[in-house]
Amino acid sequence: MNLISPIKISLKYLLATKFRFFLTILGVVIGVASVIIIMAIGQSAQALILDQITGIGSNLIGVLPGASDEKGPPATAMGISITTLKYDDLEALRNGKNVPEAEDAAGYVLGTVSAVYNGTDLNTSFEGTTASYVNVENSEIVSGRFYTKDEETNMSRVAVLGANLVEDLFSGTDPIGKVVKLKEQNFTVIGVLKKRGSTSFGLVSQDDAIFVPLKTAQKLFLGIDHLAFIRLKVKNTNLISSAKANIAITLRERHDIDDPANDDFSVRDLASAVKIITQVTDVLRYFLLAIGTISLIVGGVGIMNIMLLAVNQRVREVGLRKAVGAKNSDVWTQFLIESIFISFLGGVIGIIIGVIISGVTAIIIQSLQYTWPFIISWQSIAVACLVSIIIGIIFGIYPAYKASKISPMEALRYE
Q: Report the C-alpha gap between 374 and 379 in whole angstroms.
A: 15
Which amino acid, one-letter code, is at 106?
A: A
- CB of 59 closer than 8 Å to CB of 200: no
Instruction: Please name which of 271, 241, 218, 272 lies closest in space to residue 85, comparing C-alpha atoms.
Output: 218
User: Tens of pLDDT along the chain (415 residues)?
Assistant: 456 666 676 667 666 667 777 777 787 888 888 888 888 887 787 777 766 666 555 688 889 888 766 555 555 555 556 788 999 999 999 988 999 999 999 999 999 999 999 888 889 999 999 999 999 988 899 999 999 999 998 999 999 999 888 988 988 789 999 999 998 899 999 999 998 765 444 446 788 899 999 999 999 999 999 999 999 999 887 888 899 999 999 999 999 998 888 888 988 887 666 666 777 777 777 777 777 677 777 777 777 877 777 777 677 777 767 776 667 777 777 778 877 888 888 888 888 998 899 888 888 887 876 777 787 777 778 877 888 888 888 887 887 777 777 766 665 565 5
Q: Which residues contact 73 (CB under 8 A, 6 or more apart)?
A: 276
- Helix (H, G, I), strand (E, B), or coil: what is residue 19? helix
Give the domain ranges of the chain: 4-53+276-413, 83-263
Residue 328, sorted as left (phi over 0), alpha (psi -120 to 50) or beta, turns out to be alpha
Classify burial at 63, counting beta carbons within 10 Å of its beta carbon; exposed 0-12, middle 13-18, buried 19 or more: buried
End-to-end CA distance of the chain: 29
- Who contacts 35 (Cβ-Cβ below 8 Å, separation ≥6)? 289, 292, 293, 296, 350, 354, 380, 383, 384, 387
**CA angle (247, 213, 228) in 5-degree steps:** 45
Three-state secondary structure readout of 336-357: HHHHHHHHHHHHHHHHHHHHHH
Could you tell me if 128 and 108 are in contact, meaning their C-beta atoms sit under 8 angstroms apart? yes
C-alpha–C-alpha distance, residues 122 and 138, integer Å: 27
CA angle 372, 375, 379 (to 5 degrees): 160
